[in-house]
């Protein structure tokens, strides 16, 4: 069991320093330097911190069985890598790749059959059929990645995209690919969670919304990878190794972040996964 903590200062951040304050009128004319457009300045004034409890349990070579399990409970905080001057001080939140919990058990087991083993300790065809079998697996369970709800228009009239909405209630997570978080304009959300009211709305015109960076989480990663190895001993110094491997053996989909636009009819809908569907592959390897 280990505690790990890090603190980082003077991180680089690209800050947009030519954005106007919210208000009416032409955006370009209201910029501090109207002869220029958006200007990004690299500054070393960001900071981050990471704190984690890490646990590892290991069992080595117990009658051919090796076990390893690791678990991390952590939190990462930073100011992101890009923001407007106004947003910069409100950008401090969990990191884009903050995964609060990660659990990864694995095993490797050489079956005790065949020549020199506890069972069917014979040579010839018996050994070729029963000996040399090995199984291995890795199961990965991980919290989802954070994401930020957004609005679809430039309500503040500052030329900035993906502005934040106004938080007016407690967000409802439906956890369906058709409606991951409740968006009033998404008809599928209304069908899946009737009677729910939206926790977000567009801010009043010429204002910014609530600081909401990385306040919601996408789907968890749940994937089991499995491997079967069979070794055929041909003669001294020469063997043939057969591999059968399955990635995402249970074909469990792990959903990526949904559409974050609360003004869209597809808001809250998931369009992709963070892992692929089940994949199988086979291989032969000759050792000599």
pLDDT of the residue at 44? 84
Q: What burial class does residue 240 get, using C-beta atoms within 10 Å of its C-beta: 0-12 exposed, 13-18 middle, 19+ buried?
A: middle
CA separation for the pair 50, 264 (Å, rounded): 35
Overall domain count for the chain? 1
CA nearest neighbour of 164 among 30, 23, 261: 261
| Contacts with 17 (C-beta within 8 Å, 6 or more apart), sequence order | 32, 39, 40, 41, 85
Q: What is the mean pLDDT of each successive set of 10 residues along the chain, which is 288 residues long?
A: 93 85 95 91 87 95 90 93 68 92 96 82 78 93 96 93 93 96 95 94 95 94 95 82 94 95 96 94 90
Digit-coded pLDDT (tens) for 45-80: 888 999 999 999 999 878 889 999 999 999 999 987
The whole-angstrom separation of Cα 55 and Cα 284 is: 36
Question: What pLDDT, in 10s, does the model give residues 69-126?
Answer: 999 999 999 987 666 666 777 888 999 999 999 999 999 999 898 877 878 777 778 7
- Count Cβ neighbours within 10 Å for each residue of 96-106 and write b for 16 or more, e otherwise: eebbbebeebb
Query: Where in the sequence is the domain holding 221, given as residue range(s)?
Result: 2-287
- Give pTM, 2 decimals: 0.86
Three-state secondary-structure class, residue 69 = strand
Q: What confidence score (pLDDT) does residue 125 get?
A: 81
State the pLDDT at residue 95. Answer: 93
Tell me how far apart the alpha carbons of residues 270 and 165 are, in angstroms, rounded to a whole number.
20
């Amino acid at each position: 069991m280990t505690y790990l903590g890090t603190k980082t200062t003077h991180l680089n951040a690209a800050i947009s320093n030519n954005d106007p304050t919210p208000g009416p009128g032409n955006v370009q004319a209201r910029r501090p330097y109207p002869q220029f457009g958006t200007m990004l300045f690299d500054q070393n004034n960001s900071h981050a911190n990471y704190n984690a409890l890490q646990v590892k349990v290991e069992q080595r070579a117990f009658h051919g069985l090796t076990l390893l399990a690791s678990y991390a409970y952590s939190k990462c905080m930073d100011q992101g890598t890009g923001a407007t001057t106004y947003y910069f001080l409100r950008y401090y939140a969990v990191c884009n790749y903050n995964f609060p919990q990660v659990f990864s058990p694995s095993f490797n087991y050489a079956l005790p059959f065949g020549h020199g083993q506890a069972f069917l300790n014979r040579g010839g065809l018996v050994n070729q059929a029963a000996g040399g079998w090995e199984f291995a697996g890795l199961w990965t369970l991980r919290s989802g990645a954070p994401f930020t709800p957004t609005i679809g228009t430039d309500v503040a009239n500052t030329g900035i995209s993906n502005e934040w909405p106004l938080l007016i209630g407690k967000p409802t997570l439906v956890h369906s690919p058709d409606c991951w978080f409740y968006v009033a304009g998404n008809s599928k959300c209304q069908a899946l969670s009737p009677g729910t009211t939206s926790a977000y709305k567009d801010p009043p015109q010429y204002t910014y919304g609530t600081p909401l960076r990385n306040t919601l989480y996408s789907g968890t990663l749940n994937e089991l990878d499995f491997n079967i190895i069979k070794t055929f001993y041909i003669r001294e110094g020469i063997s043939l190794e057969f591999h059968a491997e399955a990635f995402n053996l249970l074909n469990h989909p792990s959903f990526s972040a949904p559409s974050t636009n609360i003004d869209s009819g597809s808001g809250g809908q998931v369009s992709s996964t963070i892992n692929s569907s089940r994949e199988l592959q086979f291989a032969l390897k000759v050792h000599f």
